[in-house]
Amino acid sequence: MARNEPHAEDRRNLAVLVVEDDEKLGPLVERGLARAGFAPWLLGTGRDALETTLAQRFAAIVLDIGLPDTSGLDVCRTLRDRGDITPILVLTAASSVPDRVLGLNTGADDYMVKPFAFDELVARLDALVRRRLKVGYSEVVTVGDLEIDPRRNQVRRAGVVIPLRPQEFRVLMV
């Protein structure tokens, strides 16, 4: 393990949405992220990704551009139009400078080209999550037996997780 690499425990319960339709690459990324300590969710369509992000908060999203039902750029744009600030890392075969600029200008926070080094993907996700935590809240807030954990996007009362929709959690954090 590299000296500055976070430990897997630091990533525990950090849900990462992987939106990848390739039947070989998607599960490979999912398994690799799980081994790195993340809690990955794998989806194969943009529609599923948009529906899932309404009900579940993620520490980051790894998003392919070439999805079967819609462009990953449209997914990115829709998320940003909704006010979703989840860090998005585009992972795609589209490698030209105009493609990368378009992805970043559409709202992606980072852009990686396939083929890629898995260690670099993990390092970039760590950086995205770290930046998000610096910008947002990062300390657990405790009031009586109620705990609000912005890093894990969780609320607990007497140690029991209270399920909240993403919009409810955002309102709570205001």
- This prediction has a pTM of 0.75
Q: What is the pLDDT of residue 3?
A: 41
What's the one-letter identity of residue 60? Answer: A
Which residues have C-beta within 8 Å of that of residue 38, sequence separation ≥ 6? Answer: 11, 14, 15, 16, 59, 125
117/83 Cα distance (integer angstroms): 31
| Per-residue model confidence as pLDDT tens digits over 73-129 | 999 999 999 988 899 999 999 999 999 999 999 999 999 999 999 999 999 999 999
pLDDT tens digits for range 1-20: 444 455 555 676 789 999 99
Q: Which residues contact 119 (CB under 8 A, 6 or more apart)?
A: none
Which tokens is 79 given?
A: 């998320």
Q: What percent of the chain has pLDDT over 70?
A: 87
**Which CATH code fits 8-135?**
3.40.50.2300
d(CA 38, CA 61): 12
Reading the block at residue 25, the tokens are: 């690459």
Whether the CB-CB separation of 67 and 75 falls below 8 Å is answered with: yes
9's enclosing H/E stretch is helix 8-11
Distance, in Å, from the CA atom of 34 to the CA atom of 164, rounded to the nearest integer, reads: 24
Strands (E), the chain: 15-19, 39-43, 60-63, 88-92, 110-113, 141-143, 146-149, 154-157, 160-162
Q: Domain coordinates of the chain in residue numbers? A: 8-135, 141-173
Nearest to 152 by CA among 32, 20, 56, 35: 56
Pair of tokens at residue 96: 């030209």
